[in-house]
Structure 1
Amino acid sequence: MTDGTTGGTGGTAGGAGSAEAARERAAKALAAARERTALLTSCVEDHELTAQHSPLMSPLVWDLAHVGNQEEQWLLRAVGGHEALRPEIDGLYDAFEHPRAERPSLPLLSPDEARRYAAEVRGRVMDLLDAASLDGSPLVDAAFAYGMVAQHEQQHDETMLITHQLRRGPAVLSAADPDPAPAHRGPAEVLVPGGPFVMGTSDEPWALDNERPAHVVEVAPFHLDTAPVTNAAFLAFMEDGGYHRPRWWRPEGFARLRSQGVRAPLFWRREGGQWLRRRFGRTEPVPPDEPVVHVSWYEADAYARWAGRRLPTEAEWEKAARHDPATGRSRRYPWGDEDPSEERANLGQRHLRPAPAGSYPAGRSPLGVGQLIGDVWEWTANDFLPYPGFSAFPYPEYSEVFFGSKYKVLRGGSFAVDPVACRGTFRNWDYPVRRQIFSGFRTARSARAERPVPGDGVPPGGPFGEGAV
C-alpha cells in the first residue's frame, strides 16, 4: 500500500528514481545540518561547551562528537565498508550506554578534537557520496542512510538549542522575529469529517521506521482548534486556579507539580504584576498571541480538561494535517505535497520563537487548520506505539526500544526543527513530564459532544485568546 503522495521537490516522495537528485539532496541536507551544528557550538567559549547546563541535557561538546561518531558508524563503516577511525570512542558516544547526567564525567574529546574528528568524518563521507551507488539495498536506496544521518544531526541541533535555552548567561544567539500575524477572523475550531484515511507512509524515501507502513485508520468526526493554544488562553487557565485544582489533573501529574512547585510554564516568572519569560538569555513579557511553549503533557492535558475539551489522538492530528477531503488522499503536508517554505511554516531555527497564532495562512490545511507544521511540537493523547506491520529499520534502538506507555507522542515539529526532520507523518516522543522541549498543544472535542460554553472553564475566544471569533 502506498500513502497516495505524488511527489514533492528536492528528491522527496516520488523522486527516488533519480540517483543524482538523491545525491544532491543528501549533500545539501548534510551541509545544512553541519552549518547549524557549527553555529550552535561556535557561539560560546570552550568552557561553555564542556559544561553541563542541565542534568537533563548533555554537554554541547558531547553532541558535537556524537553526531560525527554516528556519521562514521553508519556512512563510513556500514555503507562504505571503511575501517573505524576512532573505535575507542564508540562507547563514549553511545547514548544508551551513558545517561546524560553522567556524560560530563567521561573522558570526552575536547572541543578542538571533536571539531577535527567531525570534519574528518564529513570529508570522507562527501567523497563516499560522490562515488556511491544509491540503489541496491534499503540502506542506500534514494540515499536513505545519508538522509537518516542528516536528520539525526538536525535532531541533535534541536537538542543543542534546548541546551542553549537552559544555559544561564547573556544571549549568544539571535534571529529575526516572525512577522506579526493579521487579526484572526476565522473560526476557533473546525469540524474534521469522520471516515477512513491513510496514516503513515510507505513511499516517503527518508521516512523513519516508526512512520511506516501506511495503513488505513477509521476516525470518528471531531472538532479541532485551528491554531495551537496561546499564552493568553493558557494564562486564563492559570488565573482560574488551574495549577491548584486537582480536578483537572491526572493524579501522577498533579503530584509531580506539587512536589516541584510548578505554577506556570517553564521559564515563566511573575514580576511587578506581569508574567515574564526567559528566552535564550533574554527576559521579556510573555507575548499573549504566541502559542504556549515549554509545557508538559500533563499541563496540556489539564488545560484541555479545564476547557471542557481533550488532546487530539495521534490519528486525529494526522488526519487533520494530511487528509484532503476533496480527493480522499493523504498529502505530505497540510498545504499539499510541496516541501516547506518560509510562507508556509516556522521551521529551521529561522526564528527563535513561535510565530503568533494565525500566522502562515499559506500553510493551512484544506479545512483551514493552521500551524500544524512548525512553531511548537504538539502533544497528542497517545502513547508511542508501533503501527500495524511495523518493522525496525535499520536498527531497533531508533524506535522499537521506546515503544510503550512511558512516552507520549508529539507531532508537527517546532520552530527549532529543520524541514528535513519534519513531515506530516513524522513522529516524536518524550516523557509526559518533559518541559524543556519546545512543546505546546492544541485541543479537540468529539463531534458528538456538545460545545462547552464560557463559564464551564472555556476561555472566551477559544484557543486564540480573548477577541478571536
Structure 2
Amino acid sequence: MTEDLRRLALDALTTARARTATLTECVDDHELTAQHSPLMSPLVWDLAHIGNQEEQWLLRTVGGREALRPEIDSVYDAFEHPRALRPTLPLLAPAEARTYASDVRGRVLDILESTPLEGRRLVDSAFAFGMIAQHEQQHDETMLITHQLRKGPAALTAPEPAAGSAEGLPAEVLVPGGPFTMGTSTEPWALDNERPAHQRTVPAFFLDTMPVTCGAYIAFIEDGGYGDRRWWAAEGWDQIRQHDIGAPLFWRRDGGQWLRRRFGVTEPVPMDEPVLHVSWYEADAYARWAGRRLPTEEEWEKAARHDPASDRSRRFPWGDADPSTAHANLGQRHLRPAPAGSYPEGESPLGVRQLIGDVWEWTASDFLPYPGFAAFPYREYSEVFFGSAHKVLRGGSFAVDAVACRGTFRNWDLPVRRQIFSGFRTARDAAVHGERS
C-alpha cells in the first residue's frame, strides 16, 4: 500500500510539473516576466511560487531539510503581495526560477522515497505530497487564465474535444428531496474546506441536465438582458453599468455575428458550447430572466454525488472510479469546453451531464465552513476567505486537473470575477408548477 501511495504521489507531482513546463516554455522570457493583466501575476512569479511552496512544505516541513532559499519566502507569499504589485518585487529571472523549482523537486523526490507515509497527519496517505500537487495544478490553471488574457498570437495548442450531442436529453431532471451525505471524511487528499462529511437535507428541485450554452445566453443578451434592471442584483447592476459590460468577457459583436477571443485566436462563438467567462452576477441575472435560479451548493453536490438507488454519496457523478477521458473534459487536454451533452459515460444516476469538467459552475451559495470545520494544515487556504464576499463554484473546468477535482471539491471567487473559466447551470423548485417528489 505504501509503495502504491508513493507511485500515486510521484505521478501527481510529475504530471503537474510537465504541465507547468508546457505553460512556461511556450513563450519567451519577456512574456514570462510581463504582467498581462493586473488581475494576474507574471507567469514567472507563479513558476517560482510553485517551487517555494514545495520547498516550504515538502523539503522543510515534511523532510526536515535545510532551507534552500529562505530569503525569497516573502517575495512569493501570496498573502503579502497583491497580484497587481508583484511585478515590482525582486523576482527570480526565468532561468533562475526554473533552476530553483528543479532543485527543489529533485530533493523532494528523495524525501518522497524515504518518508514513512503514516504516523503524522501531514504525511498520512501522502497527503502533503497530494496537497502540493494540487497546489501546482491550481497555479497551472491560473497561468492558463493568464495565457487567455495575454495579447498576441496563440502560444498554446490542443486538439478539439470530440463532438457531443444533446439529442434525446431532457432539458432538466427532478432531483428528489431528502437527506444525503455532503463533504468527505475519507477522501485522502481532500482539502480542509471539503471536510467533514455531514448530513444535509434539501427539498426536491429541478436541475438543468447540461450547463447553459452560448446560444441560450445570446438569447438573454438579445432580449435586452444587460439593459434590464429587473434581472440584476444591485451590486451586479452597478458593475455592468460602471464597466459598460454587455456580454461575456472576450466576446464582441461584428455585424450580425458574435465573436470571441480564445487563447490568441478570434472565432465565432459556438452556439452549442457551455458559456464561459461570466461572473456570478451575470449567471444570476440570466437565471432570473429565464424564470429560474442558480442551484445552491448543497443542491449541486446532491445532484453530482447522491445515488438514489443505493442512497449513497459517490466520489463522482459516474461512481467512485477516477476520471478518465470518457468521463470528463479535464487537465487542459482541450483548450475549450466540450459541446453541451458530451460525456454520456460521465453522467449522474439521474442523467445530469458535465457536472465535472468543462466549466466551473457558479452556485447561489456563499463560501462558508462546514459544521465541524478545522483548518489544516494552514488557515490561509480556506478559513480567511469564509463569508459572504465569495461565492462557491463547483465541478471544475477543462483547465482543472483530476487531482484537484472531486465531487466534494469547492472553489470560490468574488462574484465580479469573469477571467476565470466559469459558467453555470440553472435550477428551479419542484413545487413551482405543482410537481412533487
TM-score (norm 1): 0.92
Q: Say yes or no: does 1:327 pair with 2:310.
A: yes
SS of the equivalent of 2:142 reads helix
Match in the other structure for 2:301: 318
Q: How far does residue 182 in structure 1 lie from its aligned partner after superposition?
A: 2.7
Shift of 1:395: 0.4
Give yes or no for the alignment of 1:152 onto 2:139: no
Consecutive unaligned residues in structure 2, runs of 5 or more: none
Query: Are 1:408 and 2:391 counterparts?
Result: yes
Is 1:375 matched with 2:358? yes
State the distance in 1 between where 2:270 and 2:318 align. 27
Q: Distance in 2 between matches of 1:163 and 1:38?
A: 15
Post-superposition shift, 1:352?
A: 0.2
Rounded to whole Å, the distance in 1 between the matches of 2:4 and 2:198 is 28
- Amino acid in structure 2 at the alignment position of 1:191: L
Q: 2:148 aligns with which of 165, 168, 176?
A: 165
Query: Quick check: 2:165–2:340 contact (8 Å CA) kept in 1?
Result: no
Residue 110 of structure 1 deviates from its aligned partner by: 0.2
Deviation at 1:450?
A: 1.9
Indicate whether 1:365 and 2:330 are aligned. no
Which residue in the other structure is 2:253 paired with?
270
3-state SS of paired residue (2:312): coil
Could you tell me the percent identity over the aligned residues?
76
Question: Paired residue for 2:30, among 23, 47, 67?
Answer: 47
Match of 2:91 in 1: 108
1:165-314 equivalent positions in 2, closer than 5 A: 165-314=148-297
Distance 1:310 1:285 in 2: 28
Residue 363 of structure 1: how far off its partner (Å): 0.2
Deviation of 1:451 after TM superposition, in Å, equals 8.4
CA distance in 1, matches of 2:249, 2:169: 30
Letter in 1 for 2:66: E
| CA–CA distance in structure 2, aligned partners of residues 141 and 155 of structure 1 | 22
Which of 59, 84, 96 lines up with 2:42 in the alignment?
59
One-letter amino acid matched to 1:42: E
**Alignment of structure 1 residues 129-140 onto 2, 5 Å:** 129-140=112-123
Name the SS of the counterpart of 1:276 in structure 2.
Answer: strand
Q: 1:70 to 1:246 in 2, by over 3 A?
A: same
Q: Which secondary structure state, in structure 1, belongs to the residue aligned with residue 313 of structure 2?
A: coil
> Are residues 1:83 and 2:66 paired?
yes
Aligned mates of 1:74, 1:52 — CA distance in 2: 27
Aligned 1:326-365 pairs, distance under 5 A: 326-365=309-348
Instruction: Return the letter of the residue paired with 1:158.
Output: E
CA–CA distance in structure 2, aligned partners of residues 182 and 310 of structure 1: 25
Q: Residues of 2 paired with 1:133 and 1:72: CA distance?
A: 18
Unaligned runs of 5+ in 1: 1-17, 453-469
Residue identity opposite 1:141 in structure 2: D
Measure how far apart 1:272 and its partner are.
Answer: 2.5
Letter in 2 for 1:136: G
1:127-158 deviations in Å (ceiling 9; x for gaps): 11011100001100000000000000000000
CA RMSD of aligned residues (A): 0.9
Contact 2:137 2:400 (C-alpha < 8 Å) held by counterparts:
yes
Indicate yes or no: 2:87 matched with 1:93.
Answer: no
Structure 2 residue aligned with 1:455: none
Which amino acid in structure 2 is aligned with residue 368 of structure 1?
G
Return the match for 1:422 from 405, 408, 416: 405
The 2-side partners of 1:333 and 1:444 are apart by 20
| Offset at residue 368 of structure 1 (A) | 0.0
Task: Quote how far apart the aligned CAs of 1:19 are.
Answer: 1.1
Equivalent of 1:143 in 126, 134, 139: 126
The aligned residue for residue 4 of structure 1 is none
1:27 to 10, 27, 31: 10
Counterpart AA for 2:176 = P
**Aligned counterparts of 1:413 and 1:308: Cα–Cα separation in 2:** 26
Deviations along 1:208-232, one digit per CA (max 9) or x if unpaired, are 0000000000010000000000000
**Amino acid paired to 2:348:** S
Given that 2:328 and 2:356 are in contact with CA atoms closer than 8 Å, whether structure 1 keeps it comes out as yes
Give the Cα separation in 2 of the matches to 1:184 and 1:110.
52
Task: Give me the whole-angstrom Cα distance separating, in 1, the residues matched to 2:124 and 2:2.
Answer: 9
CA distance in 1, matches of 2:121, 2:218: 49
Q: Which amino acid aligns with 1:138?
A: R
The one-letter amino acid of 2:275's match is V
| Inter-CA distance 180–385: structure 2 relative to 1 (3 Å threshold) | same
**Distance in 1 separating the partners of 2:369 and 2:295:** 18
1:65-108 deviations in whole A, cap 9, x for unaligned? 00000000000111011111000000000000000000001010
Distance 1:256 1:358 in 2: 32
Kept in 1: contact 2:165–2:339 (CA 8 A): no
- Equivalent in the alignment of 1:441: 424
Residue by residue over 1:30-85, the C-alpha shift from the partner in whole angstroms, topping out at 9 and shown as x without a partner, is: 00000000000000000000000000000000000000000000001110111110
> In structure 2, how many angstroms separate the alpha carbons of the residues matched to 1:237 and 1:334?
29
CA contact (8 A) 2:273 2:338 kept: yes
Q: Secondary structure at the match of 1:243?
A: helix
Residue 183 (structure 1) shift: 4.3
Aligned length: 435
Superposition deviation, residue 186 in structure 1: 1.7
For residues 93 and 201 of structure 1, do their structure 2 counterparts lie closer, same or farther at Cα, with a shift above 3 Å needed? same
Amino acid at match of 2:167: H
1:274-302 Cα deviation digits (max 9, x unpaired):
00000000000000000000000000000
Rounded to whole Å, the distance in 2 between the matches of 1:246 and 1:451 is 29
SS of residue in 2 equivalent to 1:44? coil
